[in-house]
Structure 1
Amino acid sequence: MFVHVGGDGAVRVEQGDDCTRLHIATALDAAATGQALCDAGLGGPADQPDSAWLSVEALRENASRGSVGADWPERWDAMIAYAERKGWLAADGTKVAAHIEYPAPA
């Protein structure tokens, strides 16, 4: 799954059934991306460059609204556990760090 942040600041979770990847796709800079995520109630800026925090609860809620398989809850839990093992989960477990991916230059 990934979180798309449009140039207008609109935020949406895409491909919510895919629990094998997580990133943020946007053409906005990291500060504007963090602000858009905050405004949408989905996260906010992170201390790392080209990353942002995503609210685990809000991300789960948004991702599960789409078409997801019956085993999605288990795959979601595995994704969050992987993020924790990699150090990408906040100490309190409420936020997960996601890398911001920018479009390739034309």
Structure 2
Amino acid sequence: MIVEVVGGADERPEVRVVETHDLTSLHLALGQVTDEEADEALRAAGLGRVEGETGHLDTAALRAAAEPAEAPADWAQRWDAMLEQARSRGWAADDGASLQVHVESAAGA
């Protein structure tokens, strides 16, 4: 799964959650936006924030944005497995409310 922050209409960054079927990896991809613009867009979308080279995504908001309307029967189980893997690697907050994710920035942003 990828959370993207890309340039949108009127030069305002947009946040999109894509590849929601792939619950084996999760990262934050920044298009031609600054870290500050990405942080502002994520906060406005209620999905999280950017701190340096680390993204922090709200678990409940991410699930709400990512879960397909007609999710496959095993989607929730795969979601839980993804969260457990994040916890086991120290990428989840103690209360499980957020996940730390790698930030990939576009060149020249």
Instruction: Give the TM-score taking structure 2 as reference length.
Output: 0.84
**Alignment RMSD (CA, Å):** 1.7
2:20 to 12, 16, 19: 16
CA distance in 2, matches of 1:66, 1:30: 31
Deviation (angstroms), 1:30: 2.7
Deviation (angstroms), 1:67: 5.5
- The aligned length equals 103
CA distance in 2, matches of 1:31, 1:83: 25
Q: Normalized per residue, which structure has more strand? A: 2
Q: Quick one: percent identity of the two aligned structures?
A: 39
1:85 corresponds to 2:67:
no
| 1:34-58 per-position Cα deviation (integer Å, ceiling 9, x unaligned) | 2211011111133xx3111100000
**Partner amino acid, structure 2, of 1:73:** A
Long gaps (5+) in structure 1: none
| Runs (4+) off by over 6 Å | none
Instruction: Give the TM-score taking structure 1 as reference length.
Output: 0.86
